[in-house]
Amino acid sequence: MTFQILLDLANRLGIFVIIAFLLSQFTPFKKLILKKEVSLGEKIILSAIFGSFGILGTYMGIPVYGALANSRAVGVIIGGLLGGPFVGVLSGLIASLHRWSIDIGGFTAVACAISTFIEATLAGFIHKKFENGKKICWWHGFAVGIAMELLQMVIIVTIAKPFSAALELVKVIWFPMTFVNSCGIAIFILIIDNIFKEQEQVGALQAKLSLDIASETLPYLRKGLNELSAYKAAKIIFDKTDYDAVAVTDTEKILAHVGKGEDHHKAGYSFMTKTTKDVISSKEYKIATSKEEINCAEPSCPLQSAVVAPLLEGDKVIGCLKLYKVRPNSITSIDVKLAQGLARMFATQLELAKAENQAKLLANAERRALQAQINPHFLFNALNTIISVSRKNPDESRKLLMDLSEFFRKNLSAGMEMVPLEQEIEHVKAYLSIEQARFGERLKTEFIIEPNAASSILVPPLILQPLVENAVKHGIMPKKEGGKVTVKIESVNQGTIVSVEDNGIGMSEEILEDVKKYKACKDRIGLWNVNGRLESYFGKKSCLEIYSKYKHGTVVKFFIPCSRIPAIGCENHGA
């Protein structure tokens, strides 16, 4: 008899499982199960669902000795495990009251009603053990089912009268009910778990799609939000998804519209839908489920549902992303999440682009400020030299004025970001011609430039002259007999080395260390200026290298990496 009850319960459980599976495919039920925060009304709905499973289990029961071998506990225990104490208590109350009411006066009616309520309530409190991120697995459900069904047998033996009849009943039904119902709970949890796995798969696919779209749109959105970048972004989304139309707007007009309705939703036109205006004013996404809710001004517009997400820059709305479908009421939670995710990524890309552009503007402003420090510095020294020469040799002073005029004519390029290295060398020659006129035989110069070493190489303006000026002023002039300044340009692997050498008085180790730290530069503004610009343009590997030995001279050099040399220049540098 026990084996037959086992088979009959298993057959009925199969129907139970089929119903549970069909319910798991029902979208509203999926939403209820997947929600992290469930409202009171939703808990009542879940209680009614799982309580109904309990009632169904009672009606599918097998008569045994004036009682029922049944699967009533499966539904309410699942309700408690998944929904917590509230759902467990309420679903258990529904199923237990029903069990009592259909067999009032039956010798197990009260015992079964009480056991059903206790099982559901205990399952609800077991749920709280899994609230900290732990997952309820099928074997948890199987173990809980065994424990609860054995508890039910104890309650029946304890409460049902007469005791001998209750004991005889339990001997027959304890194994079939414990085994089958525990398996039913485990299977039900596997069905519910499948809902979560489907959601995870959808989330993974959605994340991959979002990342693919973000990586493709990044090059365009880096240029800011305009009609071209918006069109490229909208076209990429349209091609990679099954939406009937995709649109991007700013706060006043349509920037791009790709797909259905593009004949009247045109770039540059004002908004044609009320939904977009509502999103911009509320800063929250909106779902339109019908043509009336979209409220397009064009009567023949085929678009009948949409999700519109704001593009936010901080707390400020800078536009909207709109995903359209031609079927009414067809926007799903997946569509909403995708729209929100893409909107956030687009907004982040636009913010990064803005920050990057501001950083470039700031760097350019700093560079121009550094260059501005050089011009008056050199002019002051040059004019002093010419004034000094004019007293002794007016013709020479006129020649020097012409040299200075030519120098500043070329110096107009200082407003450019980069200039040819060859032009910098000409600047240095013009400067040295003025200084040689001042110091005569005390100042000798030499240029050692490898063939093609300076051709096609671009450097920041006025990057070389300050180094030569420091060599003259601090190296050669303090030396009674004067000395020589040598400018070298040589090709090396992966770049070019530019150096300025002098055989002047040099520096002590203490002063050299201060100079390297730019501490002793009150009258050496050129070094600090040049080093700052080299690092700004080429990075730390191009910072000035300074070598000096007291009474022997000083060498200052820097490296121009091949990556910042035009291709023709790289070919000449073996890179």
CATH number at residue 257: 3.30.450.40
List the domain range (segments joined by +) for residue 375.
358-571
Q: What is the pLDDT of residue 378?
A: 60
d(CA 308, CA 171): 63
Q: Which of 129, 164, 198 is the last residue of a domain?
A: 198
Tens-digit pLDDT profile for residues 4-38: 888 888 888 888 888 888 878 877 777 667 666 67
Q: Assess whether 228 and 315 both reside in one domain.
A: yes
The verdict on 68 and 16 lying in the same domain is: yes
> Which of 168-172, 265-269, 308-312, 515-519 has the least mean pLDDT?
515-519
Structural domains of the chain, count? 3
Shared domain for 495 and 557, answered yes or no, is yes
Q: Is 170 found in the same domain as 82?
A: yes
Burial 327-353 (b: 16+ CB within 10 A, else e): ebeebeeebbbbbbbbbbbbbebbeeb
Regarding whether 231 and 166 lie in a shared domain, the answer is: no
Q: Which of 312, 331, 350 is the last residue of a domain?
A: 331
| 336 within domain boundaries | no
Compute the distance between CA of residue 173 and CA of residue 394 in angstroms, rounded to an integer.
Answer: 127
pLDDT at residue 492 tops 90 = no
In a shared domain, residues 386 and 276: no
Query: In this structure, is residue 471 part of a structural domain?
Result: yes
In a domain, 203, yes or no: no
Tell me, what's the pLDDT at 367? 57
Residue 473, domain CATH? 3.30.565.10
> Among 77-81, 183-187, 317-321, 372-376, which stretch is predicted with the lowest mean pLDDT?
372-376
| 240 and 368 fall within a common domain | no
Tell me if 540 is assigned to some domain: yes
Is 350 inside a domain boundary? no
pLDDT grade for 111, boundaries at 50, 70 and 90: very high
**Residue ending a domain, choose from 316, 331, 346:** 331
* 205 in any annotated domain: no
pLDDT of residue 569: 40
pLDDT at 275: 82
Q: List the structure tokens of 366.
A: 């700093």
390 compared with 281, residue with greater pLDDT: 281
Nearest to 221 by CA among 211, 234, 210: 234
CB 349 within 8 A of CB 218: yes
Burial class (CB in 10 A: 0-12, 13-18, 19+), 204: exposed
Provide the pLDDT for residue 257.
93
For residue 181, the model assigns a pLDDT of 92
Rounded to two decimals, what is the model's pTM? 0.48
Q: Report the pLDDT averaged over residues 62-81.
A: 90
Q: Do 413 and 525 fall within a single domain?
A: yes
Q: Are residues 150 and 61 in the same domain?
A: yes
Neighbours of 127 (CB within 10 A): 20
Q: Does residue 216 lie within any of the structural domains?
A: no
Q: What is the CATH number of the domain that holds 28?
A: 1.10.1760.20
Same domain, 429 and 480: yes
Q: For the residues 232-258, what does the mean pLDDT come to?
A: 91
More confident residue, 451 or 503: 503
Does 160 have pLDDT greater than 80? Answer: yes
Q: Is the dihedral of CA 327, 328, 333, 338 positive or negative?
A: positive
- Do 382 and 261 belong together in one domain? no
**CB–CB of 521/468 below 8 Å?**
no
- In this structure, the answer to whether residues 278 and 170 fall within a common structural domain is no
Residue 204 lies in a domain: no
